[in-house]
């Protein structure tokens, strides 16, 4: 009967020694988590920020991450779709549909599968083909003419052969206007398609072929200027749902786009992967081959005014090939568990950045383009073992060795109507070990306690945006971290109370971060650099409570602190202040030793839901959800407008469905209190700007499946 108790999900995962946050596809739909960035609202200590309101994103997990506008370096947190790592987070645009589940895994990874990383991984698993015929569709319509449509069809084709095709379309939803002319900004215009073909050759061999394509022509979210860094002209006065932008006809002609183009994407993503598994009896061999392509064209107005002081257009052509081979024992009940494997990645990327500085006078007053290529190749070998001792004590450990070689080529900086600078290529290579050791104890049938130490490794790279001098191409060093983690998982009262928690300490060496350098007669520019020594610590956890028959509560909590122990750099705030007072660029050097790393200290999110049968045939579910995110420094040591204010958001939903759950009708609201808040910020040239978050949305969703 609808409204009766439901078991907590992911029972088997309660016996694994990790701090993963796991969510079913149904849970994501209930909370309205339909985009990559929204995942930070359902996991602790996770931050996913759009770059200047665009489809490109930066990940931070337990405070570990960095801001890479070019998206040409591997991030500290990787996204995977069906075991395929996406080298660049932008490739994951438009892929969050027809999902089975999502796992957010914090801490160093790479000894059990895939690619090594220091911060963790987000694993997306999409629905597989089914042996019987199924189909379904949903339509979601909300404020600001936003619509999201999804559909799937799945079933057998022949004996041992089945398929699944799923797709989505997103339209509208733009809530910003230009106060100068009333123009509208922010509408989505995206479609995506995924197809899977499963071939069960025999009882031991499975072949899965997957292909996907995404086209994204969505408009971006414009910024709100917060502070004028250079010059004396007053900033435009705009409301919370307003933004200014401009595109001069000369710049439109230069980039080959139509006049009147709004800040927007024009992106194609497509790829295919082949996943083959064969059980030899004593062990299972899995091969995962994948090819991913990204074609991105993106226009943004990075001064957030009608002036042409930092209008930017960039093109990215990128290809990535990955191959993983993994052999693991087949008996999941055996005392001794083992896995060995190898991973290979090869990427090729070409980027071109166009800048319109025409109104940035007297310092620049020109249009400029920067062009570069990036070649990268990495190989790693890994092994992981565990052994279960008497009294349910388990020892486990893993080892990984990785070689990474990457180089930047063809860097050119051209001022149209002026000089052209060519820079020689740079290369960087690294070969390091990473690993993990730990112990877990299944104290009771429902309580697991564990401790582990993990060393993570991430290769170095380059800062390639707006290059003015050769020194800007000096590579930054590889990053490593030693993480200590103590945690527990418990179903204290079966199907009534679940409490999971973990405490961690990260000891960083050469942590990669977006710092600042000063170019003489040009100004401060962002530069990816290394912090010689830093640390962070904190805890996180989840409480699931089902004391009352109809009430289900979930609360995630995360708390973290971190400090730079040795970080010599240019103090951007002080350097900008000196220029404002003296009209001369002078680097104000500082060491941020003892300064907080600036990541949100406290993150809270959760929901409470009442599930009630209203008859023998129908049930209803309703309740609120909430999010709190603490303040975040946007530059190292940032205070004042360099610190993003904290915010609290409240949402709610009510769903009607039959006992069979073949169909659902949902009414929902997000940001019910219509809070004014900001999701990220940055500086391009003359202004410091914030990217605002969405206002109140009220909508409805209807779905049907059989």
Laid out side by side, the sheet with 77-81 consists of: 21-24, 99-106, 120-126, 77-81, 84-86
- pLDDT mean for each 10 residues of the chain (706 residues): 58 95 92 90 93 88 85 90 91 94 96 94 97 97 97 97 98 97 96 98 97 97 91 87 95 95 97 98 97 96 92 95 97 95 97 94 91 96 97 97 95 93 94 96 97 95 82 90 98 94 97 84 80 96 93 96 92 82 86 90 96 93 96 87 95 95 96 96 87 97 96
Residues 405 and 344: beta-carbon distance below 8 Å: no
Residue 678's contacts (CB-CB under 8 Å, 6 or more residues apart) are 224, 644, 645, 647, 690, 691, 692, 693
Q: How many CA atoms lie within 13 A of 575 on its CB side?
A: 24
**pLDDT at residue 55 in the model:** 86
Cis peptide bond prior to 423, omega within 30° of 0: no
Minimal CA–CA distance to 227: which of 704, 687, 658?
A: 687
The tokens for 667 are: 């009414």
Minimal CA–CA distance to 383: which of 348, 428, 310, 435?
A: 435
Minimal CA–CA distance to 448: which of 412, 495, 375, 498?
A: 498
Residue 109's contacts (CB-CB under 8 Å, 6 or more residues apart) are 116, 117, 120, 121, 456
**pLDDT at residue 185 in the model:** 97
Q: Taken in order 113, 114, 120, 123, is the CA torsion positive or negative?
A: negative
**pLDDT at residue 196 in the model:** 98
**pLDDT at residue 1 in the model:** 36
Minimal CA–CA distance to 11: which of 438, 676, 500?
A: 500
- Quote the CA–CA distance of 47 and 32 in Å, as a whole number: 17
DSSP code per residue over 567-587:
-EEE-HHHHHHHHHHHSS---
**pLDDT at residue 67 in the model:** 82
Q: Per residue, what are the HEC states of 110-122? A: CCCCCCCECCEEE
**pLDDT at residue 176 in the model:** 98
Laid out side by side, the sheet with 687-692 consists of: 224-228, 687-692, 678-683
Q: Per residue, what are the HEC states of 409-434? A: EEEEEEECCCCEEECCCEEEEEEEEE
Residue 650 burial (CB < 10 Å; 0-12/13-18/19+)?
middle
* 267 φ/ψ angles, rounded to the nearest 5 degrees: -125, 145
**pLDDT at residue 7 in the model:** 62
The tokens for 440 are: 């877990």
Residue 261's contacts (CB-CB under 8 Å, 6 or more residues apart) are 247, 252, 299
Domains and CATH numbers, the chain: 12-231+245-348+362-705 (2.40.170.20)
- Quote the CA–CA distance of 423 and 470 in Å, as a whole number: 6
């Amino acid at each position: 009967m609808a409204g009766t108790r439901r078991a907590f999900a992911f029972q088997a995962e309660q016996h694994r020694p990790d701090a993963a946050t796991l969510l079913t596809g149904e849970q994501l739909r209930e909370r309205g988590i339909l985009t990559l960035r929204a995942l930070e609202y359902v996991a602790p200590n996770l931050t996913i920020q759009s770059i200047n309101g665009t489809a490109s994103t930066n990940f931070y997990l337990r405070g570990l991450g960095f801001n890479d506008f070019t998206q040409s370096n591997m991030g500290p947190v990787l996204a995977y779709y069906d075991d395929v790592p996406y080298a660049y987070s932008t490739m994951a645009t438009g892929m969050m549909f027809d999902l089975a589940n999502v796992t957010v895994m914090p801490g160093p990874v790479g000894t059990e599968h895939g690619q090594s990383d220091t911060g963790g991984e987000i694993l997306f698993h999409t629905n597989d083909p089914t042996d019987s015929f199924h189909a379904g569709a949903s339509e979601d319509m909300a404020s600001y003419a936003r619509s999201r449509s999804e559909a799937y069809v799945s079933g057998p084709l022949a004996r041992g052969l089945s398929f699944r095709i799923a797709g989505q379309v997103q339209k509208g939803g733009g809530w910003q206007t230009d106060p100068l002319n009333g123009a509208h900004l922010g509408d989505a215009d995206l479609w995506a398609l995924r197809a899977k073909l499963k071939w069960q050759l025999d009882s031991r061999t499975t072949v899965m072929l997957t292909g996907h394509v995404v086209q994204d022509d969505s408009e971006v979210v414009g910024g709100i200027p917060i502070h004028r860094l250079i010059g004396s002209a007053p900033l435009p006065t705009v409301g919370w749902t307003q933004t200014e932008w401009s595109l001069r006809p000369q710049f439109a002609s230069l980039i080959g786009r139509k006049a009147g183009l709004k800040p927007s994407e024009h992106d194609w993503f497509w790829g295919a992967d082949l996943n083959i598994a064969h059980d030899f009896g004593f062990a299972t061999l899995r091969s995962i081959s994948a090819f991913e392509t990204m074609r991105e064209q993106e226009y943004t107005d990075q001064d957030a005014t009608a002036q042409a002081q930092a209008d930017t257009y960039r093109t990215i052509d990128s290809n990535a090939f990955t191959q993983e081979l993994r052999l693991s024992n087949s008996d999941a009940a055996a005392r001794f568990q083992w896995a060995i494997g190898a991973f290979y990645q090869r990427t090729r990327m070409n980027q071109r950045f166009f800048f319109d500085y025409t109104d940035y006078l007297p310092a620049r007053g020109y249009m400029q383009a920067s062009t570069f290529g990036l070649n990268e190749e990495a190989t790693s070998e890994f092994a992981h073992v565990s052994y279960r001792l008497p009294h349910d004590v388990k020892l486990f450990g893993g080892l990984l060795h990785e070689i990474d070689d990457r180089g930047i080529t063809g860097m050119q900086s051209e001022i149209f109507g002026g000089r052209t600078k060519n820079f020689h290529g740079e290369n960087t290579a690294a070969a390091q070990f990473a690993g993990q050791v730990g112990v877990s104890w299944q104290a009771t049938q429902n309580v697991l306690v564990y401790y582990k130490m993990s060393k993570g490794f991430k290769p170095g790279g380059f800062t390639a945006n707006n290059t003015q001098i050769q020194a800007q191409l000096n590579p930054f060093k590889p990053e490593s971290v030693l993480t200590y983690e103590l945690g527990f998982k418990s179903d204290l009262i079966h199907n009534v109370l679940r409490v999971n928690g973990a405490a961690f300490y990260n000891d960083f060496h050469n942590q990669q971060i977006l710092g600042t350098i000063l170019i003489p007669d040009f100004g401060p520019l962002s530069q990816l650099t290394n912090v010689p020594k830093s640390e962070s610590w904190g805890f996180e956890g989840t409480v699931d409570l089902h004391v009352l028959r109809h009430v289900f509560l979930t609360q995630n909590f995360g708390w973290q602190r971190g400090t730079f122990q040795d970080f010599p750099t240019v103090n951007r705030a002080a350097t900008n202040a000196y220029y404002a007072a003296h009209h001369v660029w002078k680097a104000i050097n500082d060491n941020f030793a003892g300064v907080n790393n600036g990541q949100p200290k406290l993150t809270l999110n959760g929901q409470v839901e009442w599930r009630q049968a209203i008859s023998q045939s129908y049930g209803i579910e309703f309740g609120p959800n909430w999010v709190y995110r603490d303040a975040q420094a946007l530059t190292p040591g940032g205070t004042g407008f360099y610190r993003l204010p904290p915010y609290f958001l409240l949402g709610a939903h009510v769903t009607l469905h039959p006992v069979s759950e073949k169909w659902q009708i949902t009414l929902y609201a997000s940001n019910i209190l219509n809070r004014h808040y900001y999701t990220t910020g940055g500086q391009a040239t003359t202004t410091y700007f914030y990217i605002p978050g969405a206002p109140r949305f009220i909508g409805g969703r209807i779905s049907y499946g059989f």
